[in-house]
Amino acid sequence: MKNREEILRYFPCQLYELLENTFNQNINIENNLQEIRIRCNRPIILKIRQADIVIDYKVNQKEILQILEKLCNSSIYAYKNQICEGFITVKGGHRVGITGTAVIENERIINLKYITSLNFRIAREVLNCSNKILGQIIDKESNSIYTTLIVSPPGMGKTTMLRDTIRRISNGIPEINFKGKTCGVVDERGEIAAMYQGMPQNDVGIRTDVIDNVSKSKGMNMLIRSMSPQIITCDEIGSVEDVEAINYAVCCGIKGIFTAHGGNLEEINLNPAISELIRKNIFERLIFLDTVKKGNIDKVYSLNKETKEYMYKYYRIIEFMSEFIEKIDN
């Protein structure tokens, strides 16, 4: 952690001392800490890179409420919208996941009650982790980038790599004579820039504008109209609305870097929105991260004319097989 106090300040005295003593006993725990999981009437679990460390202390409901009140600066009502989204972003860029009993009205979550679990996800910037990706997506001739989709299963480093890629492109890369670009980031879930009271807690570059707490589709349209970005980016695309917004951005001459969940071409084809973007030749690069070793590149597809034609035929075959199987089932 950059500063353990950024996290420990939200815990009641007894839990504060317990966690601080744990960190003091083994500095490697603090250095490699990824999550602190708090569950009502169950032990605290510290998730580190190789294993889980179970602390034999059962947190009660009162302590969870005390933590939540500190997270909300003693005004839970003021944070109601964030709580309904299932997380709160705190200073330092850390995110606290929240679960409990959802209160539903008109098919929307309007509140969470009986909070039973909190998950402190520790934010870590990995500077220059994007070096390999930059070599694949930068178009030196036009001093721009190729519109790119980065794909991997959850937890394999997509967002970390995306964040550093934005930082480098925004600042410029003097060693290859790449001039900095105006970037627009739609940070719907607060994982890229991690805004706290209007300020990004993560370094996303000097030419980057961020809009958070808004859907990706609305955020992209707002940035295009108001900030004139040369490059636009957001993570975990997948809805029909995302497709429409990305189409609009490309039609405006804007390049983009996006991420999506998946392990291979077959898996991303299962998402109709993403397969639609590929069929429309929106992406110029598809980058699949290693599904075993975090942060490594597995495959890169450069979607030139020939490759796009192959991809189109590939998807047509998949569609035909799906329709054929459906007819058999019926």
5-121 and 131-323 share one fold? no
Residue 323: per-residue pLDDT:
58
The C-alpha angle 151, 226, 92, rounded to 5 degrees, equals 55
DSSP, residue by residue, 157-212: SHHHHHHHHHHHHHH-BGGGTBPP--EEEEETTS-SS-EETTEESS---TTEEEEE
Structural contact between residues 264 and 287, judged by C-beta atoms closer than 8 angstroms: no
User: Which DSSP letter does residue 61 get?
Assistant: H
Structure tokens at 89: 């972003």
**Strand duo 52-58 + 144-145: pairing:** unpaired
Residue 316: per-residue pLDDT:
57
Residue 83: per-residue pLDDT:
87
Residue 59: per-residue pLDDT:
96
Give the number of residues written for the chain.
Answer: 330
Q: What is the pTM of this model?
A: 0.79
Q: Is the dihedral of CA 21, 22, 23, 27 positive or negative?
A: positive
Residue 330: per-residue pLDDT:
55
Structural contact between residues 37 and 47, judged by C-beta atoms closer than 8 angstroms: yes
Mean pLDDT by 10 residues, the chain (330 residues): 83 94 87 92 90 93 95 88 87 90 88 92 89 93 95 89 96 95 93 88 95 92 95 93 92 95 88 87 93 88 63 56 56
Q: Which residue has the tokens 């934005």?
A: 166
Provide the greatest CA pair distance for the chain. Answer: 64
- What does the alpha-carbon distance between residue 204 and residue 171 come to, in Å, rounded to a whole number? 9
For the chain, domain boundaries: 5-121, 131-323
Residue 53: per-residue pLDDT:
93
Q: Which residue has the tokens 């997506």?
A: 137
Residue 4: per-residue pLDDT:
85
Superfamily of domain 131-323: P-loop containing nucleotide triphosphate hydrolases (3.40.50.300)
Q: Cβ of 324: how many Cβ atoms within 10 Å?
A: 10
Structure tokens at 134: 């930059």
Residue environment code for 111-148, b if the CB has 16+ CB neighbours within 10 A, otherwise e: ebeebbebbbbbbebeeebbeebbeebbeeeeebbbbb
May I ask the CATH architecture of the domain 5-121? 2-Layer Sandwich (3.30)
